[in-house]
Structure 1
Amino acid sequence: MFKNQLKIAWRSIKKQPFLNALNTFGLAIGIAGTLIICLFIYDELSYDQMFLDSERIHRINVDAKFGGPGREMSQVSAPMAGAILNDIPQVEEVIRFRPWGTTSLNKIDSRELVLEDNATWVDTNVVSMFGLKMLYGDPLKALEQPNSMILTKSAVEKHFEPSSAIGRELIVNEGQTFTITGVIEDLPQNSFLAEYSVFMSLMGFQDAFQNEWGNHNYNTFIKLKHNADAADIAAPLQGMMERYLIPYAQQFFPGITLKEFEAAGNYVNYSSMKLTDLHLHSHRAEDMGRNGDINNIYILSFIALFLILLASINFMNLSTAYSLKRAKEIGIRKTLGSNKKGIIRQFLMESGLITFGSLIIGLAMAWIALPFFNDLAEKAISIPYSSPVFWLVLFAAAILLALCSGSYPAFFMSKFRPARVLKGSGETSLGGAKLRSGLVIFQFAISVFLIIGTLVVGEQLQFIQNKDLGYSKDQVLLINNLNRLNNQAGSFKEEVKQLSQVADATLSEFVPTPSSRTDSSFFLEGKTDQESAVNMQGWRVDYDYMNTLDLKLVSGRDFDPSIATDSTAMIINESATKVLGLSPEEVLGKRVANGLGEDALSYYTVIGVVKNFHFESMRNVVRPLSLRISNSLGYMAVKLKSGNFEETVSKIQGIWDSRSPGLSFDYRFMDDSFNEVYENERRLGKIFIIFTSLSIFIACLGLFGLAAFNAHKRIKEIGVRKVLGASVGQITYRLSVDFLKLVGIAILIALPIGWFAMNRWLQDFTYRIEIGVGIFLASALLAILIAMLTVSYQSIKAAIVNPVKSLRTE
């Protein structure tokens, strides 16, 4: 019986090549798109799960507000780790990371410097706590001694053979000499440590042993004991504030209490977050690694669901529509003794064959498309062909898809009454039209929703790109590692400024693009109570900083090298004046101290107020900031004139190489650095475009098939209308208008849902667009245009047929 049903199913599929090609191709696209998204989601959800006891590891966070806007930080103070280990019995182990950014390494007998993008100081138990795979060295003793380091295999291969690297020495940042005591396997790409290649022992870092509760520089992780959870440590963690932080603050504010601190509107809240939640749920300052966003996972999950639903709806719609052509076949089957179950099995067999054919084609499509998707998403995803679980899930999903897609057509067709269908009464009375209309509405509602999402993401990115940032990021070259030039940095800058293609240049500690920064407490002269503290960043810059970046003054003046007292001058931003409670004019001439006690022996006189500029993501408000004159080296920003940028960069590199021949010239353009901040949104926008296009294409396949069926079913009506004088345009309109009504209903359903969903997405941005009527109009018009193009082809094709031929057709 099974063999017989299989043969009949195959013959039935071959009899309807157009219908089944649409079904197969539509399902294949849906399967391919859904598979790629599911692999992406699985990769995102698997972050950090490879580490030993990852479910027991948590990171300590702190939310703090003190003299300015609140901050959500992923770093806590150095003594926090010891206090946790001593005071919270549920904690088994603690570890600290002190990220150190780009670091140079060179062999003792070589001046050739090799840059590693991410190095970190770390406690001695990093290998054992995270279960890192040690290739060479003792995992328990590798970082016990000061000036010892562990390198990844890729990092050590740049200097020595990994097997002979233990005990060899490297010079770090042209200063200290470190001994290699361990080599670990390269870290997985889906881990928070993926970008780190150098791990230096904190035993040789004096700052790690200071009792400085006010500085937050250490990413601190704890491992809970078995049967303990985050709720058990929440109260003891928060108790650290009164137990340690308040006594520390009393050195500067004698007599201050927790109640007084909180009464001034300040707070310090400690909490923990699971290691496996960091990638998708943490958006804090100084996160280690590049994080994703759980909201994007939700969005992509819905898109995957929509894709497979659209493909299934196509199958159901086309199958039920074309089943009317098989009404007589079913009537004869029933007359000859076929029962309802047999007919259902037969049609489920057909849907199963189409589904598994689509699965094979969909897998091939996914395999072809995956490299392009990896480039877009910056991933290294692959189809796990060798995994039995993957194939089990895939075939189970295919069977479920075949049942879901084929069950309604099968049950629908099994209900045909032999007497009615054999009389020929009845293509119009067999039913299913309302359901098909509902499914078309659902398909296009999803498509319109995705169009709205695509347009909103694109508009927000355009808004970010075009918004006045308060500084100039175009044609600005950023050169890193200026501290390696030491006393030659000033002469390097002056020589670069002499180039005809260079407009200006500046040396500074920070620039308005992502980098590791910390805040400090500042006080107006004469106000030393904690209510008067202003928590803001203090950037050390040179005299050309404002001009090079085109920063605008609201009041006062710029730094002037001819005025000797400007060495103790300060320029603050508008946010700082707001926190100080003074206007931009009133604050001029005021003296500000950085810290209290001995730290406040030097005062800075405010000489200017700079207009707020965005030095952080537009998800955040612009926080207080101060600029001071100093010889601090970190970056050099070079403002270029229009022209041949490659030639200019080459000339600057030549000047660099003449001063530091062993160090590679590390540079980038500021607009590229700015764009990195919004890379997640940019990728999401591109993914939206791709899968929105796929969903629209799938919906159009179904609409195309239904339009073809509708035109075929009404072929005699068309002939009669033409004989009675109807024009091609009138007939095309009559055939198209019913479908366009359905699309109109879909638009009315999708618009409010799209507004609600995308408005929620925009809430993550402090500076954002308003979703205007234009986006809804564009989405509606695009959906109508696509539907018209899809339907009109079949309508026009039917309208131009010779009426004589139409009226002869049975």
Structure 2
Amino acid sequence: MFRNYLKIAWRNLVKNKLSTLINVLGLSIGISACMVILVFTKYESDFDSYHQRSDDIYRVVQHTEYPEETLYWNTTAYPLAEALRNDFPEIDIVTQTAGPASREFSVKNEQGEVTLYEEPYVLFADGYYLETFDAEWLAGDRNTALDNYGSVVLTEYLAKKYFGNDISNYGSVLGKTIMLNSKDPLVVSGVVKNPPGNANQRYNMLVPYEFFKENNPFFTSNWSGNYQGTTFVVLKNEKLKEKLESAIAGWKKKYLKPEDDRRISYFLQPLKEIHTETLYGSIPGGYTMPAGVLRTASLVALFILIIAIVNFVNLITAQSTSRSKEVGIRKVLGGSRFNLIFQFVLENIILISLTLGLSVLMSYFLINELNGFLSIINLKLHFGWEQIGLVLLIGGLTVLLAAIYPALVLSSFKPIPALKNMVVFKKTNGLTLRKSLIVFQFVIVQLFVIASIVVATQMNYFRNQEIGFSSDAVVTTSAPEFNKLEVYRNALLQDKDILKVSFGSGPPMGVNGYSLGTSFRTPEQTVEEGKSAEMKIGDINYLDFYDLELIAGRNFISNKNRFDEFIVNEKLLKAYNWTPQEAIGKRLAINEGEATIVGVVKDFNNHSLQYEITPCIILNWNAYQNNAFIKIADGSSRTLASVEKTWNGIFKNSVYNYEFLDDSMEKEYLVERLIFNGFTILSILAISIGCLGLLGLMSFITLRKTKEIGIRKVLGAGLLDNVTFFSKEFIFLVAIAFIIAVPLVYYAMNMWLQGFSYKVELSLWMFLSGGVITLMIALLSCSFQSVKASLADPVKSLRTE
């Protein structure tokens, strides 16, 4: 009997090819989209959760109060860790890191050939780091690996990169030597497995913090400075957190200057919140993913799944009503209600099983594509048995909703009315329910469509907003040897396609997480009265290179080993209500020294457009001029090859890298681009599922109203009349969905836009455009079947049973 039911179920699915295809595609797209989003949100939410003591680890963060603002730092002064370790024995572990930072290395092979490498993720860490954070050791002793001043721990990625991909025994790497900056030998003391992609501190190499301390005595002994040092503590329990913060508030005066003690506060941030808390920015070398974005993404995943399941239930329920005659015949022949329920449930289980299989394949493919698309953030999503189990759970839920309910309804039909095709359905349980489901479905569809329009408009605003300086066709390279900068400049300008060259600490807009901070005040003011500012070092060509508009005073005349002149922006002048002309000749003191203002430039966006313009000071200082900016006439491979050849000819002991400034600036909008791409893709998926649902429903409705269409045509109804007849109901439902969706999407998008200093205003056209787009798509879906039915021969339609 089971075999017979299976055969009948399969024949029914094959007979109704279109409805089977629509059901399978709609539900599989919904489940796979939901799974990909959930895998992504779980990955982002689980940063650093793989550490055994992740719940006990805290990062020390710093609040620095100025008269008009408070700055929030995820880094702290380097001496802090040792002081905490000495003075607070109740803290289990205190560990100090520096970086991750970029460093150059050279490795000599067995043939004596030397190869240069630049590693962007070198982390300087003390021995306590390996007690705090877990790593899977492939070779070496974790207890002593960082004890020696000249030791180094490599990841398996670097071990293979430096010593060959065919390494079978990582122990053979121990004792080998690599050279830092071609002068400092480091001996390999350990090899660890590559850290997971969702680790806050990314590293490919661990170098002892003592080595960093020895080579940077000023930074590592300075309590007033903040130079990318990160301190972590491990507590016995969560209750110690507030007690320790309170104790540190009174203790810090032991080490800080009085003025620093008054404005600096330390707090403990749980490790599990580092990745999703945007207040402190991203950790050096990392990125943050706002908790609100992850919550929204989880809701979106749920909505997509609900659309798909609602669509599936709607279609199955609608199509099942056309099988009343089959039910009547089976009951007349002695079929029991249990047998009928079993057959219909089995049929839908087969359908859902096909869907789940396709969903797993689609999810696996989409996750691999997403990993490649977001390789810039080292994304390493994985689709495993846990996710497959969730797919099966979703399938079971769908069986309950979409299979059992129609089966119970169908099996309850009386045989005689069923044979006469006279089964009457209550509107409250049939048509009204379907209408409600369609409205719900298109509320979600329009939420996605309108949100995509708003996000796209905001991203377009970012791309087209005037930023106050020129960034077109600018190539950035490193400039590792200061005494060769003029040689490099003159050699580059020999190429007619290279128009300008300048050197400095960084471009006008802070990119790649690199920005120099300071505070400023007049010489008469106290340190406590100082205000925060961004500091940029630029040569005499810097203003001209970036087309920064000088509105008062003059440019630098020369660069100096010790700066003595400042060029400031308009924003800084507002702190003292100076006009640009009044500011010329004024003296300012910053953390690094005192100098005279000789020029004022028009405000430019010194941060990405999520943030406001802040006070900025440009210095004529030889220090930190470690980047070269090259304006090229075109981006041809010949010009880029010319830059590389020139660079390699001058800086022979360094590794060449270049980046277009526009690309660097684009990375500053990583999360926003991710949201935009996500909404775009999800809108397409939601619309696709909605259209498949409408197409299926229209197929069912036109089939049931074939005779009615024939009668209408005989009575003179034209093609447009019939299309309007079928479409007006759906137009009404989409209109209701639009009315419900508008206030919801307005609230959500208004909250999202509040996070930007530069943003578009929500306009009526955004909402109307979303509604019109959704309506047009719905009409096209409806019209396809109604046009097909209207063009049929009315005589054949009237003969239809």
What amino acid is the match of 2:477?
A: I
Please state if 1:584 is matched with 2:580: yes
Matches within 5 A, 1:376-415: 376-378=373-375, 379-384=379-384, 387=385, 389-415=386-412
Question: What is the aligned partner in structure 2 of residue 287 from structure 1?
Answer: 283
Shift of 1:135: 2.9
Q: Does structure 2 retain, via aligned residues, the 8 Å contact 1:93–1:129?
A: yes
Question: What is the aligned partner in structure 1 of residue 25 from structure 2?
Answer: 25
Question: What is the aligned partner in structure 2 of residue 264 from structure 1?
Answer: none
- With over 3 angstroms needed to count, the CA separation of the structure-2 counterparts of 1:787 and 1:246, relative to structure 1, is farther
Shift of 1:61: 1.6
1:681 and 1:339 mapped to 2: Cα distance? 58
Shift of 1:9: 3.4
Instruction: Report SS of the residue matched to 2:274.
Output: helix
2:219 and 2:545 mapped to 1: Cα distance? 37
Question: What is the aligned partner in structure 2 of residue 458 from structure 1?
Answer: 456
2:422 equivalent among 420, 425, 431: 425
Q: Does structure 2 retain, via aligned residues, the 8 Å contact 1:548–1:637?
A: no
2:25 and 2:226 mapped to 1: Cα distance? 60
Q: Does structure 2 retain, via aligned residues, the 8 Å contact 1:78–1:207?
A: no
Shift of 1:706: 0.9
Question: What is the aligned partner in structure 2 of residue 707 from structure 1?
Answer: 698
Instruction: Report SS of the residue matched to 1:113.
Output: strand
Question: What is the aligned partner in structure 1 of residue 195 from structure 2?
Answer: 187
- With over 3 angstroms needed to count, the CA separation of the structure-2 counterparts of 1:644 and 1:467, relative to structure 1, is closer
- With over 3 angstroms needed to count, the CA separation of the structure-2 counterparts of 1:153 and 1:429, relative to structure 1, is closer
Shift of 1:495: 2.2
1:660 and 1:409 mapped to 2: Cα distance? 76
Matches within 5 A, 1:343-382: 343-378=340-375, 379-382=379-382
1:33 and 1:527 mapped to 2: Cα distance? 59
- With over 3 angstroms needed to count, the CA separation of the structure-2 counterparts of 1:39 and 1:422, relative to structure 1, is same
What amino acid is the match of 1:683?
A: L
Matches within 5 A, 1:79-228: 79-88=79-88, 90-99=90-99, 101-107=101-107, 112-160=115-163, 162-202=170-210, 204-205=212-213, 206-207=217-218, 210=221, 212-215=223-226, 217-225=228-236, 228=237
Identity of aligned residues (%): 28
- With over 3 angstroms needed to count, the CA separation of the structure-2 counterparts of 1:655 and 1:715, relative to structure 1, is same
Q: Does structure 2 retain, via aligned residues, the 8 Å contact 1:478–1:635?
A: no
Shift of 1:605: 0.7
1:505 equivalent among 501, 506, 516: 501
More deviation, 576-585/200-209: 200-209
Question: What is the aligned partner in structure 2 of residue 471 from structure 1?
Answer: 469
Q: Does structure 2 retain, via aligned residues, the 8 Å contact 1:214–1:245?
A: no
Shift of 1:641: 4.2
- With over 3 angstroms needed to count, the CA separation of the structure-2 counterparts of 1:167 and 1:315, relative to structure 1, is closer
Q: Does structure 2 retain, via aligned residues, the 8 Å contact 1:148–1:201?
A: no
Question: What is the aligned partner in structure 1 of residue 654 from structure 2?
Answer: 663
What amino acid is the match of 2:696?
A: G
Question: What is the aligned partner in structure 2 of residue 74 from structure 1?
Answer: 74
What amino acid is the match of 2:497?
A: Q
Give me the TM-score of the superposition, normalised by structure 1: 0.90
1:529 and 1:84 mapped to 2: Cα distance? 26
Question: What is the aligned partner in structure 2 of residue 35 from structure 1?
Answer: 35
Shift of 1:238: 4.6
Question: What is the aligned partner in structure 2 of residue 310 from structure 1?
Answer: 307
Q: Does structure 1 retain, via aligned residues, the 8 Å contact 2:454–2:766?
A: yes
Shift of 1:326: 1.4
- With over 3 angstroms needed to count, the CA separation of the structure-2 counterparts of 1:213 and 1:635, relative to structure 1, is closer
Question: What is the aligned partner in structure 2 of residue 514 from structure 1?
Answer: 512
Matches within 5 A, 1:513-552: 513-528=511-526, 530=528, 532-552=529-549
Shift of 1:670: 0.1
1:420 and 1:136 mapped to 2: Cα distance? 79
1:788 and 1:537 mapped to 2: Cα distance? 55
- With over 3 angstroms needed to count, the CA separation of the structure-2 counterparts of 1:239 and 1:179, relative to structure 1, is same
Question: What is the aligned partner in structure 1 of residue 167 from structure 2?
Answer: none
Question: What is the aligned partner in structure 1 of residue 326 from structure 2?
Answer: 329
1:493 and 1:475 mapped to 2: Cα distance? 17
1:359 and 1:13 mapped to 2: Cα distance? 16
What amino acid is the match of 2:132?
A: M
Q: Does structure 1 retain, via aligned residues, the 8 Å contact 2:100–2:202?
A: no
Matches within 5 A, 1:714-733: 714-733=705-724
Question: What is the aligned partner in structure 2 of residue 58 from structure 1?
Answer: 58
What amino acid is the match of 1:186?
A: N
2:661 and 2:5 mapped to 1: Cα distance? 66
**Alignment root-mean-square deviation, CA:** 2.8
- With over 3 angstroms needed to count, the CA separation of the structure-2 counterparts of 1:524 and 1:626, relative to structure 1, is same
Instruction: Report SS of the residue matched to 2:268.
Output: strand
Shift of 1:785: 0.8
Please state if 1:614 is matched with 2:614: no
More deviation, 672-681/5-14: 5-14
1:435 and 1:8 mapped to 2: Cα distance? 29
Shift of 1:247: 6.5
Please state if 1:445 is matched with 2:453: no
- With over 3 angstroms needed to count, the CA separation of the structure-2 counterparts of 1:286 and 1:219, relative to structure 1, is farther
What amino acid is the match of 1:17?
A: K
Q: Does structure 2 retain, via aligned residues, the 8 Å contact 1:315–1:406?
A: no
Shift of 1:269: 4.0
What amino acid is the match of 2:208?
A: M
User: Alpha-carbon deviations, 1:653-697, whole Å to 9, x = none?
Assistant: 221111123423211100000011112221332232222211111
What amino acid is the match of 1:470?
A: G
Gaps of 5+ in 2: 165-169
How many residues were matched structurally? 783
What amino acid is the match of 1:123?
A: D
2:426 and 2:244 mapped to 1: Cα distance? 72
- With over 3 angstroms needed to count, the CA separation of the structure-2 counterparts of 1:636 and 1:215, relative to structure 1, is closer
Q: Does structure 2 retain, via aligned residues, the 8 Å contact 1:68–1:536?
A: no
- With over 3 angstroms needed to count, the CA separation of the structure-2 counterparts of 1:383 and 1:286, relative to structure 1, is closer
User: Alpha-carbon deviations, 1:260-292, whole Å to 9, x = none?
Assistant: x5xxxxx54432222233223345345132333
Instruction: Report SS of the residue matched to 1:91.
Output: coil
- With over 3 angstroms needed to count, the CA separation of the structure-2 counterparts of 1:662 and 1:403, relative to structure 1, is same
2:246 and 2:413 mapped to 1: Cα distance? 70
2:119 and 2:14 mapped to 1: Cα distance? 61
- With over 3 angstroms needed to count, the CA separation of the structure-2 counterparts of 1:581 and 1:144, relative to structure 1, is farther
Instruction: Report SS of the residue matched to 2:403.
Output: helix
1:529 and 1:290 mapped to 2: Cα distance? 32
1:650 equivalent among 634, 641, 656: 641
Q: Does structure 1 retain, via aligned residues, the 8 Å contact 2:538–2:620?
A: yes
Please state if 1:232 is matched with 2:240: yes
Shift of 1:136: 3.0
Shift of 1:115: 0.7
User: Alpha-carbon deviations, 1:739-793, whole Å to 9, x = none?
Assistant: 1111111111112111111222222222222221121111111101101111111
